[in-house]
């Protein structure tokens, strides 16, 4: 899986400066996992029928920040932005009409995919690809959480000493 980390709020605000209406478009896969890791694994990766727990929480947080600055927002989340059906593309085009910017909560590949069909619309990625992740997850019913002892990013084992907090955190830290 692609491992990506969120850009700082300051970076995002700079990249969408001047936009009055921003549509937030989330991905349930790599980005959802990336936000889960960046937030110290506090929330499950997936929970019940709500597959994008972490991306949707981040979208709500960003919408509050943008609203404080007078930016109108709406949001939607799809399973994956790196591969989309024709129907998905049409739905995104329709939902983003009237918005002068789109903020993608996904890896770089999803952002590039969306840029490819939203001609002339500013598309800004909220995350940056940092490498690759492999992991084993624990499942209890419909809730999935990482097994902290079987989590590897860029080939390095990561564990319970975990991640930095979201507010300016630097992502997961290796276990010594």
Domain of 110: which CATH number? Answer: 3.40.50.11860
Q: Which domain holds residue 100?
A: 2-163
CA–CA separation, 148 and 159 (whole Å): 5
Q: Is residue 169 assigned to a domain?
A: no
- Asked if residues 66 and 95 have their Cβ atoms less than 8 Å apart, the reply is no
For 29-79, the pLDDT digits (tens) are 888 888 988 887 777 777 765 678 889 999 999 999 999 999 999 999 998
**Around 100, how many Cα atoms within 13 Å sit in the side-chain half-sphere?**
9
Q: What angle do CA 165, 171, 156 make, to 5 degrees?
A: 140
Q: Is residue 79 assigned to a domain?
A: yes
pTM for the full predicted model: 0.83
CA–CA separation, 134 and 155 (whole Å): 8
One digit per residue, the tens of pLDDT, for the chain of length 176 reads: 899 999 999 999 999 999 999 999 999 888 888 898 888 777 777 776 567 888 999 999 999 999 999 999 999 999 889 989 999 999 999 999 999 999 999 999 999 999 999 988 999 999 999 999 888 888 888 888 888 788 888 888 875 344 433 333 445 544 33
The pLDDT, as a whole number, for residue 159 is 59
Nearest C-alpha neighbor of 120 from the set 95, 92, 94, 101: 101
The pLDDT, as a whole number, for residue 166 is 33
Please tell me the total count of domains within the chain.
1
Q: Is residue 13 assigned to a domain?
A: yes
CA–CA separation, 144 and 121 (whole Å): 36
Number of other residues whose CB lies within 10 A of the CB of residue 159:
14
């Amino acid at each position: 899986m692609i491992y990506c980390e969120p850009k700082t709020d300051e970076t995002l605000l700079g990249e969408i400066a001047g936009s009055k209406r921003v549509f937030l478009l989330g991905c349930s896969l790599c980005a959802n996992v990336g936000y889960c890791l960046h937030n110290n694994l506090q929330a499950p990766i997936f929970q019940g029928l709500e597959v994008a727990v972490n991306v949707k929480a981040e979208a709500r947080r960003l919408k509050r920040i943008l609203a404080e600055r007078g930016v109108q927002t709406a949001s939607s989340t799809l399973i994956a932005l790196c591969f989309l059906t024709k129907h998905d593309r049409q739905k995104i085009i329709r939902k983003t009409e009237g918005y002068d910017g789109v903020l993608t909560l996904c890896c770089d590949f999803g952002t590039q995919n969306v840029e490819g069909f939203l001609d002339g619309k500013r598309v800004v990625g909220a995350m940056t690809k940092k490498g690759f992740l492999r992991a084993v997850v624990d499942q209890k019913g419909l809730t999935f959480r990482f097994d902290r002892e079987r989590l590897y990013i860029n080939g390095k084992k990561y564990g319970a000493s975990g991640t930095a907090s979201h507010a300016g955190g630097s992502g997961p830290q290796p276990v010594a």
